[in-house]
Amino acid sequence: MTDWLSQVKNAKKSCMVQNNLKKVHYDFGNGREMVEEYNTDTNVVTRRAWKLKNGMDAEGEWDIELGDPEVNFNKEQLLFIKESSTQPVVTRRNTRINLEWRIRNLPYPIETYSVVVDEEKKSLVVRTTNKKYYKVLRIPELDRLYLQPVQEAVRITHKFNTLIITYKKPKQLLELEKNVLEEVNKIKPNNYGDMDCKPS
Amino acid sequence: MASAAAAKIAEVRETTRVERIGAHSHIRGLGLDESLEARHVSQGMVGQMSARRAIGIVLKMVRDGRIAGRAVLLAGQPGTGKTAIATALAAALGHDTPFTSMAGSEIYSLEMGKTEALTQAIRKSIGVRIKEESEIIEGEVVEVQIERPATGVGTKVGKLILKTTEMETVYDLGGKMIDSILKEKVQSGDVITIDKATGKITRLGRSFARARDYDATGQQTRFVQCPEGELQKRKEVVHTVTLHEIDVINSRTHGFLALFSGDTGEIKPEVREQINGKVAEWREEGKAEMIPGVLFIDEVHMLDIECFSFLNRALENEMAPIVIMATNRGITRIRGTNYKSPHGIPLDLLDRMIIVPTSPYEEKELREILSIRCEEEDCQMSDNALTVLTRISKETSLRYGMQLIMTSSLIARKRKAAEVDVEDIKRAYQLFFDEGRSVQFLKEYQQEFMFNEEDAIEMDTS
């Protein structure tokens, strides 16, 4: 994998602006597609999703890397198996200086949790002492920079049945995001979305 | 709580319903040794040595998988074990090789053309083994809860609690999933994997932690460790699907739900062409592997001339499976024409086939088969009764003899006997007519039946 910034530079990009949201679509070639949503007020990425391609079925879905998961009303899925709505769900929501994971539906007190950096897997491992929850969280932002996660940057808080894990963005990442943002600002937005709509 | 308990009981009953005894459920394989020689009595098969040896060679051919589009014809009188041999071949091939069994009359449907039905059958018999990364759930079952509405109709609701050494999660189950869980008889303590995309359940074994639950366990029970880490994993899995399944999934109008309803309709040739191309591409990339299987068409004389000419053409395709046909007809009319031909099959197709004859059973073999059936149907029979039954089978037919096993066993049970005796067989023989006696009865009392004109049109059975 080549360096992320040059990939972004070489990708076919298009974007559109809706109110204070800027949606950017990247086509990296060989079938890899990504969509990002920027908040134009804060210049922070609020959503990032990858197009999934699976072998047999022609139609792929979106894998949400960042932001709230899309609500799936697809009936076909209901035929099989899914996690109960009372089970923990992980969502990602980054801020300007932090990478953030929110795990909802975790009612246990904060002493229960431990979040440890796994150097080998390059990820964060969430454990509970009561053996109810376990999750390996990959950090795609760091993967792109080939950075090793460090334990010192991890902080956890627990509020309203939600475990919030924050990871302080390293300098290289802040740098990269600045450069990517510059690239994004170069794209000329398509004008649909904010056209004059005059309902009669 | 009481309703939940009631639901549990009903569920147990439902799961036992699956194992019923069919005409060929005693067959577990072809009964051949390593050098493909037929053992006289083995794996539920008796006699027909040369036919079994021949099919053993076909088995070798299918396993090698190099030869495409051969046709084999099993020809013989009714009740000489043609379908039994085909069933045995299916059992011997195992789960991974596709085996499609159909009756010749199945292709006549209002919803699709004859050739479409044949094409689907052919494509059902070609497997593709695909390596794919897929999302699976692997864990030990803590609890299965399945509740059905009190009225008995409507959707069932289910919950499944799975755990690993590190975590525990509650899953909601959909209707199809509940059915397959009931079918697989998943219970707490089992270690299972579920393919999230297809809903396929595989039982890995029972958890070591539950090893002491029962004093006695079956030999097949395998004990495994409780899985570690996360419940949901991405794993490279190898699964076998048939070309037909890929067709259905990719035919836009239906989607993969059609796989469950069975209502696939006709599939466009463009879709098939596209799939063929895609599979060829996967094979080149080393992602997929072809497994040619077996298509078995029973009562093949029910096919008509169009189907035969279509088969002629289809067998030449290099993607064609091995086609095994069975017929009990002699020289008869080819359906859809006025020509007569051996087995009701046109000569040009016959020429492409290798023909395996089956011959009527000897008395000794009949006895063996009947005693195997007695065992299968859980019926104790005295030696004398078995001798009488063998005689009856010899004089009437093997099928009639097999019918008498269950009936006479019920008669024996009524008089609270431990085993079936000659008396019971006699009683059953008097109560139920075989075909010969029925015909004779009709001849004697013909004038008392309706529509009994002497010059009545004879039934056309060809």
- Flag whether the ipTM exceeds 0.85: no
Kindly state whether residue B344 falls inside one of the protein's structural domains.
yes
The enclosing domain of B48 has a CATH number of: 3.40.50.300
Q: Do A134 and B166 touch (CB under 8 A)?
A: yes
Q: Where are the domains of chain A?
A: 3-68+174-184, 75-171
Domain A75-171 of CATH type 3.60.20.10: no
Kindly state whether residue B80 falls inside one of the protein's structural domains.
yes
Q: Which residue(s) pair with A156 in the sheet?
A: A165
Convert the pLDDT of each residue in B213-228 to its tens digit: 666 666 667 888 888 8
> For residue B248, what is the nearest residue in chain A, using CA coordinates?
A57
Q: How many CA atoms lie within 13 A of B91 on its CB side?
A: 18
**pLDDT for A117:** 92
Kindly state whether residue B5 falls inside one of the protein's structural domains.
no
Mean pLDDT for chain B overall: 83
Q: Which of B284, B307, B333 is the last residue of a domain?
A: B284
**pLDDT for A1:** 43
B396 and B413 co-located in one domain? yes
Give B-chain residues touching A55 at CB under 8 angstroms.
130, 132, 282, 287
Q: What is the mean pLDDT of residues B412-437?
A: 90
Residue A156 belongs to what H/E stretch? strand A154-159
Give A-chain residues touching B177 at CB under 8 angstroms.
79-81
Kindly state whether residue B431 falls inside one of the protein's structural domains.
yes
B26 and B99 co-located in one domain? yes
- Counts of helices then strands in chain B (DSSP H, E): 15, 17
Kindly state whether residue B8 falls inside one of the protein's structural domains.
no
Residue B13, helix vs strand vs coil: helix
Q: How many CA atoms lie within 13 A of B51 on its CB side?
A: 27
pLDDT bracket for residue B13 (50, 70, 90) = very low
Structural domain total, chain B: 3
Q: From the CA of B229, how many Å to the nearest CA of chain A?
A: 7
pLDDT bracket for residue B457 (50, 70, 90) = low
Q: From the CA of A181, how many Å to the nearest CA of chain B?
A: 32
Give B-chain residues touching A133 at CB under 8 angstroms.
167-168
Q: Do B171 and A127 touch (CB under 8 A)?
A: no
Convert the pLDDT of each residue in B234-291 to its tens digit: 888 787 888 888 888 777 555 555 555 555 677 888 888 888 888 888 888 888 888 8
| CA A112/CA A110 separation, integer angstroms | 5
State what percent of residues in chain B have pLDDT above 90.
19
State what percent of residues in chain B have pLDDT above 70.
89
Of B132, B167, B173, the CB nearest to A133: B167
Determine the structural domain holding residue B417 and report its residue range. Answer: 363-445
B339 and B375 co-located in one domain? no
Of A128, A131, A134, the CB nearest to B230: A134
B78 and B112 co-located in one domain? yes
| CA B438/CA B436 separation, integer angstroms | 5
**pLDDT for B263:** 57
Q: Do A56 and B249 touch (CB under 8 A)?
A: yes
Q: Do B194 and A56 touch (CB under 8 A)?
A: no
Convert the pLDDT of each residue in A8-24 to its tens digit: 888 888 888 888 888 88
Q: Do A86 and B170 touch (CB under 8 A)?
A: yes
pLDDT bracket for residue A74 (50, 70, 90) = low
| CA B199/CA B219 separation, integer angstroms | 28
Q: Do A134 and B176 touch (CB under 8 A)?
A: no
**pLDDT for B11:** 43
Judged by average pLDDT, the poorest of A195-199, B213-217, B318-322, B454-458 is B454-458
pLDDT bracket for residue B8 (50, 70, 90) = very low
Of B172, B230, B287, the CB nearest to A84: B172
Other Cβ atoms within 10 Å of B444 Cβ, number: 9
Q: Do B174 and A58 touch (CB under 8 A)?
A: no
Please say if the pLDDT value at position B18 is more than 60: no
Q: Which residue(s) pair with A48 in the sheet?
A: A36, A66
B176 and B278 co-located in one domain? yes
Q: Which of B265, B284, B303 is the last residue of a domain?
A: B284
Kindly state whether residue B67 falls inside one of the protein's structural domains.
yes
Q: Do A127 and B166 touch (CB under 8 A)?
A: yes
Of B177, B230, B260, the CB nearest to A135: B230
